[in-house]
Amino acid sequence: MGKLDGKTALITGSGRGIGQAIALKLAGEGARIVVNDLDPEPAGETVARIEASGGAAIAVPGDVTAPGFAERYVAAAIEAYGGIDIIVNNAGYPWDAVVQKMSDEQFQAMLDVHLTAPFRVLRAAAEPIRVAGKAEAEAGKAVVRKVVNISSIAGLFGNPGQSGYASGKAGVVGLTQTLAKEWGRYNVTVNCVAFGLIETRITQPKGSGTETAQIGDREIAMGVQPAVLDTIRQMIPLGRAGTPEDAANAVYLFCIPESDYISGETLLASGGLKG
């Protein structure tokens, strides 16, 4: 018996990296996963891995920033599994530049994916969650639902070259605290996990062959200068960068029954690094 048996979890950006690790972790505890990725192939890969381990999952590919995506995503979850128990707003990417070189398009793109998209998913889920919570309360049942929004150490303390990314990630902390107050009456906990340096394609050393990612019609530079990575690692008290599995474990803490009385909090999963 898993701690999440019978639960349905929506995880955006779960075709790769941290999102995929979260999906595999929650599925391993019995949750049915509604996978999302910008591209169908990685979304399908995550579904296949979950099903190969005996779990249940469906894929809903698409751009989380696209109009109508949130409603389609929530509707797919309800059609497949009958309801929503966990939402993890994870999808995102960096598009960096120092402020004097950052275009309006760059800044807005960071707000769109890191703040507006989570807002839209939560807004689309609000009525199904309200209806389910009301029915359960009238029946004398106590069902706790979970929202986990993903932020970053940059959203808490800032980071050079990331005014757009940091602003979006800071905004989602405020969204988290507000929804915790709005949705408490529906028996929903709303929390946030802010990651430090986690080893994904986004944080690979420049020169490792993973320097760009295709985001829609944009080719976005990825990777970090090796000297910068070395400096950050030396600042981490635990002495290493985190793995996607480390990140998934932090999210998992907010999804299990043991956290049913914790809401409106931001957990920094950074190996002890604090900006």
Q: Which backbone phi and psi does 167 adopt, to 5 degrees?
A: -65, -45
261 labelled catalytic: no
**From 73, 93, 165, 252, the catalytic residue:** 165
Tell me how far apart the alpha carbons of residues 61 and 76 are, in angstroms, rounded to a whole number.
11
Tell me how far apart the alpha carbons of residues 84 and 164 are, in angstroms, rounded to a whole number.
31
Scanning the structure block, which residue is given the tokens 């309006």? 104
Q: What is the dihedral of CA 121, 123, 129, 131, to 10 degrees?
A: -140
Supply 144's token pair: 């706790």
In three-state secondary structure terms, 89 is: strand
Tell me how far apart the alpha carbons of residues 191 and 174 are, in angstroms, rounded to a whole number.
10
Query: Which residues form the catalytic set?
Result: 165
